[in-house]
Structure 1
Amino acid sequence: MLFQRDGGLQVQVRSTIAALRQLQRPALDIVLVDPNHQRLDSFDVIHVFSAINGNNRAVELANELGVPVVLSGLVSPGWNKRTAWRARIAERLTGRLTQWTVQTSYAQTKRALQLAQIVVALGTPEQKSLVDGFKVAPARIRVLPNGIADHFFRADPGLFRAHTGLEGPFVLMVGAISPYKNQQGLVRAMENLALPVVLIGQAQRQHQDYLQRLLASPQVRWLGPLEHHDSLLASAYAAASVLALPSQGEVLPLVVLEALAAGTPVVMTDESALSLPESGFALRQLRWDDLDGLGKAIQSFVAAPPKRDEVRSLVRAFTWQRVALSIADCYQQLCERESADVV
């Protein structure tokens, strides 16, 4: 079901594959596995993206077949010792009540993380969640952030302005239209500010009523979903005064990295694995339901925008090529380890 919808995970998978193939290492042959027609033991290393949604079965099977696994966990930074303790209690209760025929999602996620030889974290907050929440040994964790496509650094606001006719400052939010992403919170925070709110993203059928409530505000303009490679998306980032992302939780949101690459400051949730040193001049992280703080932070960026070149410099090193080099090294380590074990 991975590619039945589009979002940050799908962009991460496609971009990682493309960047790995561009490395042109003779011994590196990257294939997107088709589990209906290919066996996992026909590969030297399996890379699984996301430890949830039943992916534990892929890790378990690879482990049974003796195929080493790299697992990009994409674990919420909300996991800590306390939440893990609660999850383990729920796990034990569920097991006893069902005679251990039913597993919790925590148990499945933990098993996938424990079986993988290398676990990739997108940042230090996720690394801490892996250790505290799932007891992953620190030695098995590699911290490798997502990359940013080059065209976001070169984005031109002119295309967006010409397409929409929207002049002057505005607030942009990019992501699926849903209560979890909290577009409604952004609209409420902006009620006393004379700033348009531009939304880009798809609304699933169950969230159509939510979308209509958003569109009832005269401040809101919705452009619908845009493909990740669409130049209009990059232009929207560059044209915006601020990108807002007050969702209830994120791992390491690509939309934030892309906005910063376009030179646009960001106000976002603090439930995230994103951590950029000395970024306070262009990045504010606050509670997802702090609407007063959200409005004030946006207003401060509009009143005194940071220099776009300085904003871009925060993420200049976030390239898919650099990510691919580190991931390829992980693959090579596992292959060499497997060869040594065979010998």
Structure 2
Amino acid sequence: MLFQRHGGLQVQVTETVSALQQLAGAALSVELADPVRASLAGYDVLHVFSAINGNHRIIETARELGVPAVLSPLLSPAWNGASALRARIATGVARHLTGGDVQTSFSQIEGALRKADLLVALGEPERAAMRSAFRIPDQRIRIVPNGIGARFFSADGGLFRDRAGLHGDFALMVGAVSPYKNQLGVAAVLAAMGLPFAVIGTAEQRDQGYLRQLQATSGVRYLGGLAHDDPLLASAYAAASVFVLPSKGEVLPLTALEALASGTPVMLTDQSALDLADSGFAFRKVKWDDGAGQQAAIAALVAGKPERKRVQDLVRHMTWPGVARELLAIYQQARAMHAANG
């Protein structure tokens, strides 16, 4: 089901594969594996993205076949020792009541983390979650953040302003429209501030009522979904005065990175692995349900109007070719470790 919808994970997978293919050349073959049609035994290394939705079975099968496996678990930074303890208790109760016939998502994630040869975290908060919640030693974890497409660094806001008719200050949010993403919450904050709110994204059938509520909120301009390679999307990032993403949890959101690459400051949920040193002038993290904190952060970022280049410099080092080089080294490490362990 991975490519039956489109979002940050799909972009991460496709951009990673593309960058690896460009880096590898004739000496190395890199492809998006199809576990329905291809035998996993035919690969030298497997890289699995996401530790949920049954992906633990791919890791288990790789181990059975003797194929090294690298896992990017994409864990929420909200995982910690306390939440893991509750999950372990719930898992134990489920096993007891069903005679071991029921697995929890927690036990599947834990199994995938323990059986992968190496783990790739998107940032220090995700590594901390692996360490504290799942008891994974640091030596098995590597940190490789997402990359950013070069086109976002050269984006111009003129196209979007002309199409959307937004020529003053406005806030932007890009992503699936849903209660988890919390568009309604920040829309209320922005309405109280009198700051227009442009929303790009689609809503699933179950969230159509939520979308109607959002559209009825004062100041909201809903623009529907845009393809990731649509020039209008890059232009929207560059045109906005501030990008907002106060969802209940994010790992390392590409939308926030793309906004920063376009020179636009970002207000992000505090449940995120994205941390940037010396970035307070253009990057603030606030609790998803802290309306007063969100209003203060947005007001400061809009009033500050940081220099575009200075904002871009925060993420200029995050490129997909750089990601590919780091991952290739990790794949080689995984093969060497696997060989050494027999």
TM class by shorter chain equals over 0.9
* Cα distance between partner residues in 1 of 2:192 and 2:334: 56
2:124 and 2:273 in contact (8 A); partners too: yes
TM-superposition CA deviations, 1:63-107 (whole Å, max 9, x none): 111111000010010011111111111111111111011011000
Following superposition, the deviation at residue 261 of structure 1 comes to: 0.3
1:127 partner SS: helix
Query: 1:45 matched to which residue of 2?
Result: 45
Residue of structure 1 equivalent to 2:223: 223
Q: For structure 1, which segment, 16-25 or 255-264, has the greater mean C-alpha deviation from structure 2 after superposition?
A: 16-25
Query: 1:146: which partner in 2?
Result: 146
Instruction: Indicate the residue corresponding to 2:68 in structure 1.
Output: 68
Task: Please tell me whether residue 22 in structure 1 is matched to residue 22 in structure 2.
Answer: yes
1:143-176 deviations in whole A, cap 9, x for unaligned?
Answer: 0000000000000101101211211110001110
Give the equivalent residue in structure 2 for 1:185.
185
Instruction: Give the distance between the partners of 2:233 and 2:185, measured in 1 at CA.
Output: 22
1:3 aligned partner, one-letter code: F
**TM-score when scaled to structure 2?**
0.98
Secondary structure of the equivalent of 1:209?
A: helix
User: Matches of residues 237-276 of structure 1 in structure 2 within 5 Å?
Assistant: 237-276=237-276
1:115 corresponding residue in structure 2: 115
* Equivalent-residue separation in structure 1 for 2:339 and 2:126 (angstroms): 31
Structure-to-structure mapping, 1:73-222, within 5 angstroms = 73-222=73-222
Q: Deviations over 1:28-50 (max 9, x none)?
A: 21111111211100111111000
Moved more, 232-241 or 35-44: 35-44
Matches of 2:275 and 2:232 in 1, distance apart? 28
Distance 1:203 1:277 in 2: 34
- Mapped pair 1:234 → 2:238: no
Alpha-carbon distance in 2 for matches of 1:40, 1:311: 43
Matching residue's letter, 1:108: Q
**How far off its partner does 1:183 sit?**
0.3
Mapped partners of 2:291, 2:59: distance in 1: 41
Query: What do residues 237-259 of structure 1 show as CA deviations (whole Å, max 9, x unaligned)?
Result: 00000000010000010011000
Amino acid at match of 1:80: N
Which whole-Å CA distance do the structure 1 matches of 2:212 and 2:26 have between them?
A: 52
Unaligned runs of 5+ in 1: none
Shift of residue 182 of structure 1?
0.2
Q: Which amino acid aligns with 2:269?
A: T
Q: Secondary structure at the match of 1:23?
A: helix
Q: Distance in 1 between matches of 2:63 and 2:300?
A: 52
> What letter is aligned with 1:280?
G
Q: Does structure 1 residue 277 correspond to structure 2 residue 283?
A: no
CA drift at 1:218: 3.2
Please tell me the root mean square deviation across aligned C-alpha atoms, in Å: 1.1
User: Which amino acid in the other structure matches residue 201 of structure 2?
Assistant: G
d(CA) in 1 for partners of 2:141, 2:307: 35
Partner of 1:11: 11
**Do the aligned partners of 2:188 and 2:217 also contact (CA within 8 Å) in 1?**
no
Q: How does 1:301-312 map to 2 (within 5 A)?
A: 301-312=301-312
- Unmatched segments (≥5 aa) in structure 2: none
Range 302-311 or range 2-11, more displaced: 302-311
**Offset of 1:53 from its aligned partner?**
1.0
C-alpha deviation, 1:195, in angstroms: 1.5
Partner of residue 318, structure 1: 318
Tell me the CA shift for residue 191 of structure 1: 2.1
Q: 1:70 is aligned with what amino acid?
A: V
Offset of residue 341 of structure 1:
5.8
CA distance in 1, matches of 2:311, 2:107: 40
> Residue 340 of structure 1: CA displacement?
5.3
TM-score in terms of structure 1 length? 0.98
Q: Secondary structure at the match of 1:151?
A: helix
Deviation at 1:334, TM superposition (A): 2.4
1 CA distance for matches of 2:284 and 2:337? 42
Question: Is residue 117–residue 337 contact of structure 2 (8 Å, CA) maintained in 1?
Answer: no
Percent identity over paired residues: 54
Deviations 1:100-150 (A, max 9, x none): 110110000000000000100000000000011111121110000000000
Letter of the structure 2 residue corresponding to residue 291 of structure 1: G
Letter in 1 for 2:286: L
Deviation of 1:25 after TM superposition, in Å, equals 4.1
* Cα distance, 1:24 vs structure 2: 3.2
Deviation at 1:190, TM superposition (A): 1.4
Structure 2 distance, partners of 1:90, 1:36, is: 32
Q: Distance in 2 between matches of 1:24 and 1:121?
A: 22
C-alpha distance in 1 between matches for 2:46 and 2:4 = 21
SS of the equivalent of 2:184 reads helix
